[in-house]
Structure 1
Amino acid sequence: MPVQMVFPNYAVADVARATAFYEALGFRKNPQFSDETTSCVVVNDAVAIMLLEHDRFDSFLTDDQRRTTDGSLENLLAVLLGSREEVDALAEAALGAGGTLSKPVEANEHGMYGGQLTDPDGHILDFFFMEAPQA
């Protein structure tokens, strides 16, 4: 199942400052997926970094998952897949390879269908399919 896009998610203290930094590197902000606590910085057609203030980043974690607060690095990787079937296949493959579903595969109110898995080393991966917006 080919991954169509990758969204590294980074916890940041100040989303405006972080956005300015990545824009200075030549990336562009996508205002459609940005607000006061979140900024989508487009790297290329296949990668966009999501900058999330700490509370917003933490909202993607389950109660038993915690962002480190000791200054070490952390991220939450999210991948966009091409269909609901690819989402289901990825969930099955992850479970078969020793991963766990830390959030079940389901549809949400934002038009996304996906879930979250934790690999055997504890790394978190959100995976989802999103219908194209209707004009």
Structure 2
Amino acid sequence: MAVQMVFPNHAVADVARSTAFYEALGFERNPMFSDETTSCMVLTEQVAIMLLEHAKFDEFLVGEQRRAPEGTLENLLALLLGSREEVDAFAAAGASAGGRLSKPVEDSEWGMYGGQLTDPDGHIIDFFFMEAPQA
């Protein structure tokens, strides 16, 4: 099996607000897979987050499946960034675009430098930089 792309799907209250937030983080909206209830936010050629307003998100659920209640953790997206400076810039962009630093940017015992950002809908983004191991 060869996975070609990954599309995490996030239920959001306001697709325009969420789109603006992810654009501030450097994601690009793909208009081909976006409309008034959905934004396809491209991070790389292999990763794009689908922002789906609640009713649209619910259309993908079957049977007894339900969207997690507000305040319940649905998932945690982790992003490896290219430098400490990119970590700092990501934190600043997220905070100024309506996100909340849920964990401050700092060095960890695992040799990583990063923090955690909560988007306006409560989705968590763990972002960090890690030096390549020395041989």
Q: TM-score, normalised by structure 2?
A: 0.54
- Residue of structure 2 in register with 1:5 after alignment: 5
- Residue of structure 2 in register with 1:21 after alignment: 21
Q: Once superposed, which parts of structure 1, at least 4 consecutive aligned residues long, lie more than 2 Å away?
A: none
Structure 2 stretches of 5 or more lacking a match? Answer: 76-135
Q: C-alpha separation between the residues in 1 aligned to 2:74 and 2:16? A: 19
Q: C-alpha separation between the residues in 2 aligned to 1:66 and 1:18? A: 21
Residue 17 of structure 1 aligns to a residue whose secondary structure is helix
Residue 44 of structure 1 aligns to a residue whose secondary structure is coil
Q: C-alpha separation between the residues in 2 aligned to 1:52 and 1:34? A: 9
Summarize deviations over 1:46-66 as a string: whole Å, max 9, x none.
000000000000100012100
Q: C-alpha separation between the residues in 1 aligned to 2:48 and 2:70? A: 26
Q: TM-score, normalised by structure 1?
A: 0.54
Structure 1 stretches of 5 or more lacking a match? Answer: 76-135
Structure 1 residues 70 and 26 mapped into 2: Cα distance closer, same or farther (>3 Å)? closer
Q: C-alpha separation between the residues in 1 aligned to 2:28 and 2:70? A: 30
- Residue of structure 1 in register with 2:59 after alignment: 59
Higher strand share: 1
How far has the Cα of 1:70 moved from its partner?
3.4
- Residue of structure 2 in register with 1:45 after alignment: 45
Identity of aligned residues (%): 72
How far has the Cα of 1:69 moved from its partner?
1.6
Q: Where do 1:1-135 residues align within 5 Å?
A: 1-74=1-74
